Structure formats: structure tokens, C-alpha cells
Amino acid sequence: MTKEEKYTLAKWAMNHALENGAQEVSVNISNNQSSSVEVREEKIDKLEQALQSNLSIRLFVDNKYSSHSTSRLNKEDLARFIEEAIEGTKYLSEDEFRTLPKPELYYKGDGPDLGSLDKNFGSVDPVEKIQVAFAAEKEILGSNERIISVSSSYYDGLNERVMVTSNGFEGDTANSYFGIYTNVSVKGDGDARPEFGWGETAIKYNELKKTGTGTTALKRALDKIGAKKIESGTMPMIVENRVVSRIFSPLMNALDGSAIQQKNSFLIDKLGEKVASEKLTLTDDPFIIGGRGSRLFDGEGIATKKRTVFEKGVLKTYYIDTYYGKKLEMEPNSGSTTNLVFETGDKDLDALIASVKRGIFVTGFNGGNSNGSTGDFSYGIEGFLVENGEIVKPVTEMNITGNMKTLWANIGEIGNDVRDDSSWRTPSILFNDVDFSGL
Amino acid sequence: MKVDRRDFIKTSGMFAAGSMVLPPFVQSCQNVQISADVKSYLDHFEVTTEMLQKVIATAMSKGGDYADLFFEHKISNSLALEDGKVNRAYSNIDFGVGIRVLKGDQTGFAYSENIALDDMLNAAKMAANIANTSASFNAADYNEKLPANFYKISKKWEDVSVKDKVPFVQKVNDKIFGLDDKVIKVNAGMSDESSYVMFYNSEGRLTYDYRPMVSFYAVCVMQEGEQIENAYAARSVRRGFEWLTEDLVDELANEAVEKTNLLFKAGKPKAGEMPVVLGAGGSGILLHEAIGHTFEADFNRKGTSIFSDKLNKKVAESFINIIDDGTLPNDRGAINIDDEGNDVQKTYLVKDGILNSYLHDRISAKYYGVEPTGNGRRESFRHMPIPRMRSTYMENGPHTTEEIFAAVDYGVYVDNFSNGEVKIGAGDFTFFVKSGYIIENGKLTTPIKDINIVGNGPQALADISMAANDYKNDSGTWTCGKDGQSVPVTLGLPTVLVKKMTVGGTNA
């Protein structure tokens, strides 16, 4: 479907809903196309192609609310789908807090190009895609006698979306992505077969780093050989930038309007208070050119704004959408994160490691969870023991346990090795006094 | 289950049943002998046997060894309650066909959301590209496969109006608020799913399935002073509307309140290695993570699982029998046929302590020269099938729970979990404990909460030193993720003792 066709169908669906009993309507239509090739033992292992369309509709009927989606987009089916959805909605309870956003909050269509789309998407020769995957595998195939299995993948995709609402919003987005991923398993000690996967991604094909996934994955898998748990203890912990999100997401989840209103947050009523170390200063910036989380409007159509989330540990904002804004009597400010940018310290990862007398450098998490209302957490970890500033040996089969409020109050140092291939632009972070359990 | 003409393509399950028949449908003027059941599925998907054959022939046109078509029409509905009212509903319709071509162990895959012949042929051409010769394909004779019938139901979810479901969700809220003054919030909801599946392959096999599913959950939030805690109770089964009863509402409400209350008194154990007693039921998560995934044959075929060299070797005490079963009546993990059209079994993974079988899909069964075990599953027609678990559990052992507790000086007892994970190659697995107790001198003492337990698969399996005779299946909303695909599963366990695992806790 072209963009114009999507707009036409979305408006038709919106009008059909309005004509059949809905007072307010919001419609999204999306197209996604994707392809992937995975190679193994110098053969194509899997070849996949997909083309997907979806319509989703939010209905506000007699102060009642429901939302629906379907992959069947012919008008005959859609008409019935919408009519039945409206009828069903009438059996729900009223909810006075459900409305579309105020029109003055909508994005008005004058924003810059945020570089989210490769305009040449679709022009990459399929043969070249396969060669890229083979080349990644070839980087390491047969290079080390410990190798058991190597698989490399190339994948790409394009997501296009239009959205219309009955109180005047119209907007569209298009995002592309390209990626390479290599996974390698190696013979370890005993029966263990350590593995590691390393990937590169880009918004534009020409910016995709096409080499190195194989060699990086192999080095990291070999580094894990012989990993064992060590004795339990309270120690500093350095978390690598790639995996910081596992312990950072509970902090961000605690700022969500729904979690606040439903009492499932450990940061209720904390706006303006110091809730973390003063080393934590964080900005939500939707406008970074080429940023993976860049966007001009959110899922409701509300125009995005740059804002401070934490300033020297003081909580400056919650994430409030229209519905929970009404429930909490707070101004809606968009309910989702865009690009999260940390104010960095002056040490890179090596310097962070060098600063630790005895601690653990965490490079991966294994399961675990965090209690939303209390912040109590416990996660499985793997990584390396650090002694006197040097990596000594790999560790695994251990847990870290504690409380999010204490953890984030105990930041030792924020690194400067920010990753830019994720919307959460996390650096490596050193935390003090973390409870590890092992032997 | 037989599909009658009335159950044609439903545009939504939001409303009462029987209202919609989608015109125009293709009258199947078949020139082969097919049963009324198969015909109803062909009509449901608006295809004829001739169309199926054309699509398969195109899929095989580049020299593939095998091809299959997986048609799926899934109608999902859910209702949710917040702040005292059932004030939101969601529904989704998914419809399409996945086309897969195999060449040796290589896979080509594409899907189409439209079932017009040209759209299917285009997808078949894409999938065919996994092979690169040209070949002529002779269509196989139809061989109709009657599916099993593990989930008999009385009233289909498509035939149930929102109006009839709302009161159950409302009641669970009211019941929870009535049970304890500390309750400050309740979230509750129900979701149901009706999935029609039809399968055809290049060997001529034509089969079908109708898969109902319902889930019902309640989250209870309580406050005592400054402390806020929450816990949930959930059930999920392949049953119809008749499953919803007042008793079920009471059961969910009581469980949610009990679990939440426990947390106010709970603390953390000492950090480190210690004996772990796993309570009967949901503790089957141990098997799912420690053993189940590492027994999936795709990992073993590639040599990447820590159990790759262990077939027919002793891996556990001889009283241990571990099963992956797709045949449990009305179980969330049951399937009448797997997603490759194969029979579903009760598969012994470990029999008398010996590794007996991996979990196979078509590709791995061929590689190992064994019959498929009926573990080829997929999230939807948009995904290719891979080896997946169904219901994974351990049979009863020779011990009593009293004997098990008596064997522990200091350790933990755990019976309530939220999630787990495993590293296939290293064998390290974890599961997250929502609540349990410390065991001191054979007795349950202080409650504990929110701790992760980590172990190593082969070691933990070998360390199961006792198993009781109180096996329980857990009918919670377990969903297993692998390669980006989610499938419903269940699990179960009798009370067991694992000699040692590493328990999250404090070093204070």
C-alpha cells in the first residue's frame, strides 16, 4: 500500500466508525516488510521474506473504550469488524477518563527529517545480502579448533505507518533497519559449550558495519571458557553498556503513568526529589538525527519534546499519556521514551575496570526480575572477576540481589562509552556495594 | 472439532455469534474424495484442493525436497478491569498462510495474508528459492489425517458475547476487595482465542485443527503502612465458556490475596549455594529451563546444547522420569496435531534416569533418523516451525514431602515463580521466585520473596536427590519464547529436592 492508499483507507475506517456509533476514533495502518537470510556451514540455512499489513482502531463509544486490530484489510471485512467492535464496546463499563488527546498537543507536521529511513531501501541486491552473511561466517569458520557451530544472519526491514484521529491528527512515519548477526558456539571445559552472538545494526544500508561480527563473537565466546561461580560477597559491579538496559528498565518503568496510578511503582510521589546518585543526569531527546528512538510524535499523535528525566539524581518527570494524565490530574507529556541520553563521566570502560580493586564486570544477564512496587530485584549474571584493575577470570552462574533505589543511589561512576545503536544510549556504569551470590 | 458452515470467517469475536458469513466464498467443487470436516476447513479458508496443489507445485518448482502450507485464522479477544470497572476490551483477527520449503536441512519460508491464488503463488515462489535447480513435481495422493481430540469443549468463545464475560471479571474484583481491607487496587482480565488451522504438504497430508484457549487473571495490590506489594493468580486452559464458574472466580481471588499477604512478612535468604526444595506444580519451571530447552533437537543437531552428547546416557537418579506431553486433556500446552501436521505424543525425555529422547521437529527427526515427536510448533502462520515444548513435567518419585523437608538443615522452599531463562550451550539456567520460605532444620520459617535462583542444567538434573509422590500440573499462563516466537506451554513437578543451587540473597 502506498502512503496515500493507507491514508484513504484509514480515513474511510474512521468515518465508518463515526457513522456507526463511535464519537471519537483513532486509526493506525501499518505495512511492514522484512527479509532475512541465515547461513551455516557455508550453506543457506534459512531464507525468509515477509510482507505484513495491519489496521488498528481505538474506539470511544458512549464514554466506553476498546481497541482492535486486524490483518484483513478489505473494506467488506473491515466494515463488519468495526460495526461489531462498536456493538461489543457498548457492553463495557463507562470510563470518564478515556478521550483522544487535546488537539493543541498534536504534532502539526513541521518537524525536521530525523534520518529514520534509508530512502534507497529495496535497492540492495538480494545476492549481496546473502554474500554479506556468508562473509560474516567466513571471518571465523575453521579459524579455531574449538568452534562447534557458526551461524550468521543478514536481515533488513521497513516499517511504514499512517495515523489519523477524529479530532484532527494526521501523521505518518517510516523506519528502516539493517542488521548482521553472528552466533558462535565453542567447545568449553567438560560438556559446556559457551556461545556468543554479536550483531551490528544501522538505519541505512551504507552505514551498516559489514565486517567484524564473526571475529567479535568468537573472541567473546572463547573468553567465556572455564567460567565458574566464585564465593558470594558484596563488591563493586561494572555493567557493560550493551546490557545496562536490564537494570535500567525497572527505573524507567517506575516513571510510567500507569505504574504510578496503579501503585506499581517504587517512585510514586517523588517528582522533584533526589531518588538516585547525583551522578545520574538523563535527558530524553526525540530529535537526534539518526537516533534509534527519534520521533516527532508519539503513539497518540502528541508532539514529542526534549526533556530532563533525572538531574543530578533528582526526578524531573514522569511519562504521562492522555488517559493516565486525566486519572492522575497531571498534564500529558507523552507516555513513552524516545532517545535516552546519559551525562557521561570521563572514564572509558578500560578505565572503569582499572579503577576496581576487586569486583565483577557484568557482560550478560540470565533471567531475573524486579518487583515493580518495591524495586526489589534479583538477576542472574555472567562476566569476569576483576582484581587490582585487571580482568582475572570469567564467572557465571551467579546472582545479584538488591533494591533498585539503593542500586541507583550507589553509582560509582558513569562511563563515557555510550552506545549509539540503541534508543537507550547507555554507557557502562560502575555501581558500589552490590550483593553477589555464588558459592 | 468439526467446523460447520456457520463458523465461517469471523470478522470479530467481539459480538455475539453466528452473525457473519463472509461472501463470496469459493464453493469447493472438489474432484477428489474428501471428508465433510476437511471440506469445511477448505471452505473456511476459501481454497480448493486444486489451489493447494498448485501452490505446493510452485513451492517445489526449484527442486525442494518437501513443502508445506499452514493456514491459520485466529480470533482473539480480551477484557480488562482497572479501578473497579471492566472498562476496556481488545480484539485481534489474524489470517493467512505460511509456506515452507525444505531442501535437506535448509528452509525457505514466506507467508501471505491474502489467500487469493496469485498471492499464495508469489509467496510459494519466494520460499522455493531455498533450492536452486529446476524440477518437476508430481503431486502426491491426498491423505487425510484425522487429528486427535484433546480439547473437547461445549461452547466456543466465538459464540460468547462480551456481555456474558464481563460479570466474571467484575466478580473477581469485588471478591478480592471483600477479602482483605489492605487491598488498594485490583487488575483483572480475561482473554480468549479461537484458532482454525489447516495443513497441507507435498506428501499429500491434509489435516486441520480447531484450538480454543482461555486465560483468566487477577492482580491484587495491597498496602500496609508505606509498604505496597502485589501478586497475581492466573489460569489458562483449552476450554470453552463452560469453564467460567463462580468457583473459579473464588479460587483466583483467594489465591491472589493469599500470595500478596505473604509478601509483607517476606525477606531475603542468605546469598549462596544451598539445598532448594521445589514445591509441587509451578516448580516445573526447573524442568522447562534446566532441561527442556537443552533437549530441543535443533540445538543438539547443531551441537550447541550442553546435552548434545548425552543421548542414552545416565543424566539423573534412576527414579526420575521426565516427560514432554502434548496430549493432556484441555491443557494449555496440548495440540491435536503439531504445526507440521504430525501426531502429538507423550514423549519421555528422561526414562529411569537415562536421556531417552530429544524434542523433534521434522528436520531434526530426519537428521537423527527417528519419528517426529510432535514438537514442531510455531507462533503463527508468520513463523516457521521449530522444536518446542508442550507440557513438561516429572512423574512422581518414591519419597514423601516429610522425608524431603527432613533432609534439609538450611535451605529454601520455593513454589511461586514468574519467569526463567537458560543459556543453551553453557547450561546455566535461572528462575525467578516470587515467594517461598527459608527452611531451617526441616521446618519452614521466614517467608522470602523476589529472588533469582541460578543453576547449571546437567548438574541440577543430577542433583535432584529426592522426589515426592504429589505431582501437580500448573495451569498458569506460561508462555515460552524462542527465536522470537512465543507458544503456550505448561509444566508440572512433584515436590523435589535439588542438593544445591545458587540462591540470590544478602551477604549481610
What is the interface pTM, i.e. ipTM, of the complex?
0.93
Helix, strand, coil % in chain B, rounded to nearest 5: 25, 40, 40
Instruction: Compute the average pLDDT of residues A65-86.
Output: 95
Residue B380, pLDDT > 50, answer yes
A257-292 confidence digits (pLDDT tens): 999 999 999 999 999 999 999 999 999 999 999 999
Instruction: Compute the average pLDDT of residues B51-67.
Output: 95
Instruction: Chain B: give the shortest CA distance to residue A439, in Å.
Output: 5
Task: Give the lowest-confidence range in A21-25, A376-380, B288-292, B446-450.
Answer: B288-292
Domain match, A189 and A283 both = no
By the CB < 8 Å criterion, does A346 face chain B?
no
When CB atoms are compared, the residue of B12, B271, B431 closest to A81 is B12
Q: Which residues on chain B are in Cβ contact (under 8 Å) with A130? A: none
Instruction: Compute the average pLDDT of residues A119-129.
Output: 91
pLDDT at B413: 97
Domain match, A58 and A199 both = yes
- Residues 6 or more apart in contact with residue B255 via CB below 8 angstroms: B233
- Residues 6 or more apart in contact with residue A199 via CB below 8 angstroms: A179, A180, A181, A182, A213
By the CB < 8 Å criterion, does A80 face chain B?
yes
Domain match, A175 and A260 both = no
Residue A422, pLDDT > 90, answer yes
When CB atoms are compared, the residue of A66, A80, A367 closest to B432 is A367
Domain match, B209 and B295 both = no
pTM over 0.90, yes/no: yes
Domain match, B317 and B191 both = no
**Secondary structure of chain A in the HEC alphabet?**
CCHHHHHHHHHHHHHHHHHCCCCEEEEEEEEEEEEEEEEECCEEEEEEEEEEEEEEEEEEECCEEEEEEECCCCHHHHHHHHHHHHHHHCCCCCCCCCCCCCHHHECCCCCCCCCCCCCCCCCCCHHHHHHHHHHHHHCCCCCCCCEEEEEEEEEEEEEEEEEEECCCCEEEEEEEEEEEEEEEEECCCCCCCCEEEEEEEECCHHHCCCCCHHHHHHHHHHHCCCCCCCCCEEEEEEECHHHCHHHHHHHHHCCEHHHHHCCCCCCCCCCCCECCCCCCCEEECCCCCCCCCCCCECCCCEECCCEEEEECCEECCCECCHHHHHHHCCCCCCCCCCCEEECCCCECHHHHHHCCCEEEEEEEEEEEEECCCCCEEEEEEEEEEEECCEEEEEEEEEEEEEEHHHHHHCEEEEECCCCCCCCEECCCEEEEEEEEECC
Residue B23, pLDDT > 80, answer no
Residue A438, pLDDT > 80, answer yes
Instruction: State which of A223, A243, A277 marks the end of a domain.
Output: A223
Domain match, A235 and A127 both = no
Task: Give the lowest-confidence range in A110-114, B277-281, B289-293.
Answer: B289-293
Q: b or e along A98-136 (b: 16 or more beta carbons within 10 Å of the residue's beta carbon)? A: bbbbeeebbbeeeeeebebbbeebeebeeeebebbbbbb
When CB atoms are compared, the residue of B20, B303, B449 closest to A185 is B303
Residue A42, pLDDT > 60, answer yes
Closest CA to B484 of A88, A217, A50, A216: A50
Instruction: State which of B175, B191, B216 marks the end of a domain.
Output: B216
B78-100 confidence digits (pLDDT tens): 999 999 999 999 999 999 999 99
State percent of chain B over pLDDT 70: 94
Domain match, B134 and B208 both = yes
Domain match, A212 and A232 both = no
- Contact between residue A210 and residue A135 where contact means Cβ atoms under 8 Å apart: yes
* Nearest C-alpha in B relative to A150: B302
Domain residue limits at B74: 5-216
Residue B298, pLDDT > 90, answer no
Instruction: State which of B189, B216, B243 marks the end of a domain.
Output: B216
Q: Which residues on chain A are in Cβ contact (under 8 Å) with B129? A: 47
Q: Into how many domains does chain B fold?
A: 2
* Nearest C-alpha in A relative to B129: A47
Domain match, B294 and B207 both = no
Instruction: State which of A223, A243, A258 marks the end of a domain.
Output: A223
- In the stretch 142-181 of chain A, residues with CB closer than 8 A to chain B read 148-149, 151
Can you tell me the distance from the alpha carbon of A292 to that of A148, in angstroms, rounded to the nearest whole number?
34
State percent of chain B over pLDDT 90: 80
A68 contacts B90? CB cut-off 8 A: yes
Task: Give the lowest-confidence range in A156-165, B33-42, B278-287.
Answer: B33-42
Closest CA to A427 of A346, A311, A359, A337: A346
Task: Give the lowest-confidence range in A308-322, B141-155, B237-251.
Answer: B141-155
Domain match, B196 and B314 both = no
**Secondary structure of B147-190 in the HEC alphabet?**
CCCCCCCCCCHHHCCHHHHHHHHHHHHHHHHHHCCCEEEEEEEE
B107 contacts A77? CB cut-off 8 A: no
pLDDT at B18: 31
Can you tell me the distance from the alpha carbon of A283 to that of B30, in angstroms, rounded to the nearest whole number?
64
- Contact between residue B420 and residue B487 where contact means Cβ atoms under 8 Å apart: no
Domain match, A183 and A171 both = yes
Domain match, A198 and A235 both = no
By the CB < 8 Å criterion, does A62 face chain B?
no
By the CB < 8 Å criterion, does A189 face chain B?
no
For testing contact with chain A, the best of B19, B113, B449 (most A CBs within 10 A):
B113
When CB atoms are compared, the residue of A231, A264, A366 closest to B428 is A366
Can you tell me the distance from the alpha carbon of B59 to that of A41, in angstroms, rounded to the nearest whole number?
24
For testing contact with chain B, the best of A94, A148, A399 (most B CBs within 10 A):
A399
* Nearest C-alpha in A relative to B308: A191
Domain match, B212 and B321 both = no
Confidence of residue B4 (pLDDT cuts 50, 70, 90): very low
Instruction: State which of B201, B216, B231 marks the end of a domain.
Output: B216
- Residues 6 or more apart in contact with residue B426 via CB below 8 angstroms: A188, A192, A193, A194, A195, A224, A227, A382, A396, B306, B456
pLDDT at B106: 93
A396-416 confidence digits (pLDDT tens): 999 999 999 999 999 999 999
- Contact between residue A175 and residue A204 where contact means Cβ atoms under 8 Å apart: no
By the CB < 8 Å criterion, does A366 face chain B?
yes
pLDDT at B32: 58
When CB atoms are compared, the residue of A91, A185, A234 closest to B425 is A185
Domain membership of residue B252 (yes or no) is no
Domain membership of residue B241 (yes or no) is no
Eight-state DSSP code of residue B314:
B
When CB atoms are compared, the residue of A49, A194, A264 closest to B110 is A49
A88 contacts B109? CB cut-off 8 A: no
Domain match, B455 and B347 both = yes
Domain residue limits at A305: 227-439
Domain match, B65 and B194 both = yes
Residue A301, pLDDT > 50, answer yes
pLDDT at B10: 35
Domain match, B338 and B212 both = no
- Contact between residue B429 and residue B452 where contact means Cβ atoms under 8 Å apart: no
Domain membership of residue B264 (yes or no) is no
Please name the residue ranges forming H helices in B233-348.
246-263, 285-287, 297-301
B92 contacts A69? CB cut-off 8 A: yes
By the CB < 8 Å criterion, does A53 face chain B?
yes
Cβ-Cβ contacts under 8 Å between A and B: the total is 290
The residue ranking higher by pLDDT, B13 or A293, is A293
Domain match, A214 and A248 both = no
A92 contacts B86? CB cut-off 8 A: yes
- Residues 6 or more apart in contact with residue B222 via CB below 8 angstroms: B180, B182, B183, B184, B228, B229, B230, B257, B260, B261, B264
Instruction: Chain A: give the shortest CA distance to residue B302, in Å.
Output: 7
Domain match, B296 and B437 both = yes
Domain match, A219 and A259 both = no
When CB atoms are compared, the residue of B11, B268, B502 closest to A84 is B11
Domain membership of residue B161 (yes or no) is yes
For testing contact with chain B, the best of A35, A76, A92, A261 (most B CBs within 10 A):
A92
Instruction: Compute the average pLDDT of residues B134-144.
Output: 81
A376 contacts B450? CB cut-off 8 A: yes
Domain match, A151 and A242 both = no
Instruction: Chain A: give the shortest CA distance to residue B5, in Å.
Output: 17
Grid coordinates given for A183: 552466533
Instruction: Chain B: give the shortest CA distance to residue A113, in Å.
Output: 31
Q: Into how many domains does chain A fold?
A: 2
- In angstroms, the Cα distances linking A41 to A139, A152, A167, A230 are 12, 10, 56, 37
Domain match, B295 and B366 both = yes
Grid coordinates given for B299: 540445538
Domain membership of residue B100 (yes or no) is yes
Instruction: State which of A187, A204, A223 marks the end of a domain.
Output: A223
Task: Give the lowest-confidence range in B106-110, B226-230, B372-376, B482-486.
Answer: B482-486
Amino acid at B478: W
pLDDT at B21: 32
When CB atoms are compared, the residue of B106, B163, B427 closest to A43 is B106
Cα A29 from chain centroid? 22
For testing contact with chain B, the best of A369, A376, A377, A433 (most B CBs within 10 A):
A369
Q: Which residues on chain A are in Cβ contact (under 8 Å) with B271? A: 232, 399, 401, 435-438
- Contact between residue A202 and residue A208 where contact means Cβ atoms under 8 Å apart: yes
Domain match, A335 and A428 both = yes
pLDDT at B390: 96
Domain match, B463 and B334 both = yes
Eight-state DSSP code of residue B70:
E
- A40: domain CATH number is 3.30.2290.10
Domain match, A128 and A276 both = no
